[in-house]
Structure formats: C-alpha cells, structure tokens
C-alpha cells in the first residue's frame, strides 16, 4: 500500500545517519535537534507508530530510541500525553549575559499611539464571527489589490458621512497602514518623473525618511499658527514640487488647524500646477472644543489623495488604512500595490466592514473620544497656568512650550529619562533642528488609563525641577 504522507499528525524533520545502526542514528538525530533548538523544551514528539511509519523504521526501534533518551533526560514520557522534549533542556549554547543599558521607562508620554487597552475586543470578535460566517470561499484567495469590496463600500459611506470625503468605492485602495499608502504614492510620483515632495515643517521625521527611501526628494513646507504655509507653494524653493503632504485637520505635531484661506490656496495650487495634495487625516475623528473640520478632499477630489487609518481609532496592530484617490491615480497605485504585496490581509478587512456597517465603529469612536477628552482636560488641569499648552482642540497629543531662557529640550528630556519618563522633543520634528523655539510633544493617549495620572505627575515634577520652581 502506498504511504499516505498527508495523515501524520505532527511533522518532524530528521536526517538519519544509519551507520552504526538505525536506532543509534535516530538517537543522534533527536539529540542534535534538541541541542540545536529545532526541538524546543516541551515540544511533543510524534507517536512511535507514526514516526516509525514516516521514517521507514520498526516501531520497536523508535520505542527503544525514545526510552534511551528518556533515561538520559533528553525526553519525558507522560502517561496519556505521549513523549515530549524535557522542559529542563536548554536549547543551543548558553545565552550571553546582556549588556546593561539605560533603565526602561516607567511612563510613556510619547505621541503616535492610542491607548491600546481601549481596543474593542468583544465588538471586534463579534464582527469577525459575523463577517466570516457569510464570507464566500473566494475571500480566502487572492483578490483585488484595492481591497475587499465590502470594506470599500463601507468606507465610502462612513467617510462621506463623518469626514466630508467624496469617496467612490472604485477609487478606494485599502493599504497596510499609512506608511504603505505613502510608499505607494511616492512610488507613483517617482515613476512619473515627479519625485519632489513638500512636507510640513515641523513634521514626523519618519515619514520624511519613508519618502526619501522611495526615491523622493523632500522640501520643508513651513507651519505657523494658521497651519501649513500653503500660500508658498508654487514659488521660490517650492516652485517645482509635485505633491504636498499635509495634516489639515490637526497638524502634527503643532496641533493647529489649517486656515480656510490656506485650504483654498492649497487646492488652487494643486489645480493650477497639476500637482497632488496628500491629506493625512490621521486623527480627524477626535475633536473636542470646536465643530468638526471636514477633509480638504471634499473641496477638490481630483487633486487630493486622502489617507485615513484605523491606527488611532482601533489600534496600529490591525495595519489597516485607506486611500481615496483622484481618478488618474487609481490604476497606477493599484499596479504599485500589486507589485508591493499583492493585497492587504482580508480577515481584518471583513471584520472592519462589519464594524462600520453595524455602527460599532461609530460607537468606538465616540467612546474613545470621550476618554481622550478627559485625558486632555486632566493634562490642562495639571499644566495650564504655568506652562503654555497648545494644539489641544483636537487629536491625541499636545505641545508644551518651554520658556525662553529656561531649560533646553535636551535638559528636559534627560531629566525625564532619569525619572523613567519617555518624552519627545519638538525640535526632533524639524527639518533643520534648532530652527525654532524649544518644546515638547506630549502624547496623552499613549499610557494605559491606570498609569496616566501618575505619568502627568512625573511630567509636572520634571518641568518644575528643571525650571527651578517649587
């Protein structure tokens, strides 16, 4: 009867050297696999009958080899549970003693992350179950690089209703996070011979590096109290840029909102220069003291590539974001996506589509918006009155201005690190460090809820200590 290799319950790759006997060869192979770490401690081994059939040995040979290794302490035989690698065995050579490094921070007030403890586990599990229960078998194969039709349709409705985006599902491309969206757009611009991109100054350094690594050239677009200086686009050093990456609803990191006249200047420049606006709407759902500010994309859908993400509303681990594209960019971006990773993972897309259509996503946004509003208020209560706190009308972070002639950013960051508090300086976000006043970017969504008040106490203590205040 031919061997049925599909029926073995546990796969175990062993190369036997039968010189000196089959049993001795099996024992050597098992010792080597355990010693090398290919069979970690507590790994369950195949039953003697199964392994004997797989290796073409007599069952008694395998049983004798197992018994010998049990006697030597390599394996453990448990009644009713089979044979497994001894949990006391250390795989590989002894680990090197780690080199002492800086003390780990106790509190984290760096920006960029939500409170991941607020992830709606129960709602997500229900959405996943519902989505998988009705998903066709084809959903588990290769599909449209743009993403699942269910999610694109759900996003079109949600973005139009909540963010004022004119979103045709056919123009939406689901990506594995904002960074991939930026990679795709930069790739398309570079291949079109237009690699020069204006990016806000200050802005996130990592995003500038993403553009550069894709062959783009980055020029600074100054930001002031009215947002990005879009009135400068098309002139001077910025005369030849092909695209401008902006955060209009809540500028990162200053927290200001792009003024209406600058919105019009931005879209007007894009029309006249046949250029592209990349609108990063990373935390557009979170507003506290003002009416919602709609997306710029709604003013000029053929000039704006809108990028949204679930990273702040749900969690970065989902790796789900979306592009709403001008018609001329759909095919080039889809082609770039196809050659980058074929498609974004599907199960998360189906679950998110269910969450949106069942309004669970809206409930999650409202829930975390209230929580972050409370955190923002507590931050202001602890710091306002003796340091200038800005950018707090929306979003998940605030800026803290350091007084002129007072401590430097480096001094504040060093004092914070000594107390186990992780902070980020404003100067690190500038295209040219040292070109602006010192300050901090405080992420008030990052710490777990139970540690947030203590983190603020540490921040206040650091600021008072380095300022010489009681």
Residue 33's domain is classified under what CATH number? 1.10.10.10
Taking the C-alpha atoms of residue 23 and residue 46, their distance in angstroms, rounded to an integer, is: 16
Q: Are residues 283 and 392 in the same domain?
A: no
Inside any domain, residue 159: yes
Contact criterion met (CB below 8 Å) for 189 and 197: yes
Contact criterion met (CB below 8 Å) for 455 and 109: yes
Q: Are residues 221 and 267 in the same domain?
A: yes
Structure tokens at 264: 């019009």
Q: One digit per residue, pLDDT tens: the chain, 470 residues?
A: 444 444 555 677 888 887 878 999 999 999 999 998 889 998 889 989 988 888 889 999 999 999 999 988 899 988 777 899 998 765 555 545 444 444 468 999 999 999 999 999 999 999 999 999 999 999 999 999 999 999 999 999 999 999 999 999 999 999 999 999 999 999 999 999 999 999 999 999 999 999 999 999 999 999 999 999 999 999 999 998 999 999 999 999 999 999 999 999 999 999 999 999 999 999 888 998 877 789 999 999 999 999 999 999 999 999 999 999 999 999 999 999 999 999 999 999 999 999 999 999 999 999 999 999 999 999 999 987 788 999 999 999 999 999 888 888 999 999 999 999 999 999 999 999 888 889 999 999 999 999 999 999 999 999 988 876 65
Return the residue matching tokens 């589509």. Answer: 353
> Which residue segment(s) compose the domain that 313 sits in?
119-362
Q: Are residues 151 and 294 in the same domain?
A: yes
Inside any domain, residue 95: no
Neighbouring residues of 90: CB distance < 8 A, sequence distance ≥ 6: 41
Q: Name the domain count of the chain.
A: 3
Domain end position, chosen among 308, 328, 362: 362
Q: Are residues 65 and 177 in the same domain?
A: no
Inside any domain, residue 280: yes
Inside any domain, residue 306: yes
- Which neighbouring-strand residues pair with 49? none
Structure tokens at 46: 């195949």
Q: Are residues 22 and 161 in the same domain?
A: no
């Amino acid at each position: 009867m031919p061997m049925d290799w599909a029926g073995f319950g546990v796969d175990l790759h062993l190369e036997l050297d039968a010189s000196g006997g089959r049993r001795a060869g099996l024992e050597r192979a098992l010792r080597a696999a355990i010693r090398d770490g290919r069979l970690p401690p507590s790994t369950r081994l195949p039953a003697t009958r199964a392994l004997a059939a797989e290796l073409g040995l007599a069952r008694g040979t395998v049983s004798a080899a197992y018994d010998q290794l049990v006697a030597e302490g390599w394996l453990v035989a448990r009644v009713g549970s089979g044979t497994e690698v001894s949990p006391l065995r250390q795989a590989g050579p002894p680990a090197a003693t780690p080199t002492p490094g800086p003390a780990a921070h106790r509190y984290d007030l760096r920006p960029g992350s939500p409170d991941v403890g607020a992830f709606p586990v129960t709602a997500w599990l229900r959405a996943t179950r519902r989505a998988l229960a009705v998903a066709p078998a084809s959903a588990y194969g290769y599909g449209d690089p743009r993403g699942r039709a269910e999610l694109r349709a759900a996003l079109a409705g949600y973005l139009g209703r909540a963010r004022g985006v004119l979103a045709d599902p056919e123009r939406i491309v689901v990506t594995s996070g904002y960074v991939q969206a930026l990679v795709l757009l930069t790739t398309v611009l570079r291949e079109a011979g237009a690699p020069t991109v204006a990016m806000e100054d200050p802005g996130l350094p990592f995003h500038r590096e993403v553009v550069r690594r894709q062959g783009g050239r980055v020029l600074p677009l100054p930001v002031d109290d009215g947002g990005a200086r879009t009135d400068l686009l098309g002139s001077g050093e910025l005369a030849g840029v092909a695209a401008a990456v902006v955060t209009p609803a809540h500028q990162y990191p200053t927290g200001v909102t792009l003024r209406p006249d600058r919105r019009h200047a931005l879209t007007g420049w894009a029309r006249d220069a046949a250029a592209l606006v990349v609108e990063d709407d990373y935390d557009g759902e979170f507003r506290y003291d003002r009416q919602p500010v709609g997306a710029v994309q709604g003013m000029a859908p053929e000039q704006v590539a809108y990028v949204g993400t679930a990273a702040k509303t749900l969690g970065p681990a989902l790796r789900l974001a979306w592009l709403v594209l001008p018609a001329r960019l759909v095919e080039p971006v889809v082609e770039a996506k196809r050659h980058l990773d074929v498609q974004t993972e599907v199960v998360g897309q189906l679950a998110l589509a269910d969450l949106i259509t069942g309004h669970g996503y809206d409930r999650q946004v409202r829930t975390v918006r209230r929580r972050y509003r409370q955190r923002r208020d507590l931050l202001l209560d602890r710091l306002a009155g003796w340091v200038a706190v800005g950018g707090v009308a929306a979003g998940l972070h605030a800026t803290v201005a350091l007084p002129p002639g007072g401590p430097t950013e480096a001094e504040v960051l060093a004092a914070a690190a000594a107390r186990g508090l992780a902070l980020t300086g404003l100067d690190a976000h500038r295209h040219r460090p040292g070109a602006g006043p010192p300050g901090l970017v405080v992420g008030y969504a990052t710490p777990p809820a139970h540690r947030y008040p203590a983190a603020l106490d540490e921040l206040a203590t650091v600021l008072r200590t380095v300022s010489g205040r009681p």
